[in-house]
Amino acid sequence: MGGFEHYLSIFTKAVFIENIVLAYFLGLCSFLAISKKIDASVGIGMAVVVVLTITAPINWFINTYFLDKGALVWLSPDFIDVNLDFLRLIVFISVIAAMVQLVEMFMERFSQALYSSLGIFLPLIAVNCSILGGSLFMVEREYNLTETVVYGFGSGVGFFLAIIALASVRYRLRYSNIPPRLRGVGMAMLLTGLLSMAFMAFSGIDL
């Protein structure tokens, strides 16, 4: 595994080429619901970056030292055949819910300003698919610890960019004449399609 360039390539891939919203459709519910307002979009975008960067490595530790096949061998060599990966989903989602709660409490204690701007979004993103999706992709692609951190952060940044882009477009849209029944979600879907096409232009880049 190469040095800096390898990580840069994972980061760029996560942000642009395999953007978690526009290419994998993860986190679309909050993406569509919140992109009506720019301030709120910045808030939830930052919250997703923070939570993804924290939960992906924690889930990596749990997966590598407890859940994977043979992961418990550090306890005793007898556990070489133990495979707990059927517990993966339930453990990951509990870790995410707990971490979101913890981040929320931590913020409330140490940074009131940050809490008042991000606080209301934190409970929402416990059930945001992009967070669980990030952890599951990390397992599926067999990333190591550093790659996981870079991937988690990159996916968060990808979500942040996509939601701000959509929120800005929807803001301009208020002054345009859209067929009444297409307004709202219908239009947002078509716009997301266009954004997704724009991001596809990056897919030719090979790092």
Partner 1 sequence: MEIFNSESKKIISDPLSINNPISLQVLGICSALAVTIRLDQAIIMTIAVIFVLCSSNVILSALRNFIPNRVRIVVMLSIIASLVTVVDQVLQAYLYDMSKQLSVFVGLIITNCIIMGRAEAFALKHGPSKAFLDGLGNGLGYGMIIIIVSLFRELFGAGTITLPDGGVGYVLFSIPEAWYAAGYENIGLLVLSPGAFFILGLVIWTQRELFGIEEGE
What are the DSSP calls for 182-193, one per residue?
A: GTTHHHHHHHHH
136 binds partner 1 (CB under 8 A): yes
- Residue 184 φ/ψ region, left for φ over 0, alpha for ψ in the -120 to 50 degree band, beta for the rest: left
Q: How far is the CB of 4 from partner 1 (least distance, A)?
A: 28
Q: How many residues lie near partner 1 (CB under 8 A)?
A: 51
- Determine if residue 71 is left, alpha or beta; phi over 0 gives left, psi from -120 to 50 gives alpha, anything else beta: alpha
In the bound state with partner 1, the residue whose beta carbon lies nearer, of 127 and 164, is: 127
Distance of CA 137 to the CA centre of its chain: 10
* Per-residue binding letters, 155-194, with partner 1 (x by CB under 8 A): ---------------x--xx----xxxxxxxxxxxx-xxx
**Residue 23 touching partner 1 (CB under 8 A):** yes
CA angle 195, 196, 201 (to 5 degrees): 100
Of the candidate residues 38, 42, 82, 127, the single one contacting partner 1 (CB under 8 A): 127
133 binds partner 1 (CB under 8 A): yes
- Please give the C-alpha separations between residue 94 and each of 56, 127, 176, in angstroms, as whole numbers: 13, 11, 44
Interface residues toward partner 1, by CB under 8 A: 22-29, 32-33, 36, 86-90, 93-94, 97, 123, 126-129, 131-133, 136-137, 140, 170, 173-174, 179-190, 192-194, 196-197, 200
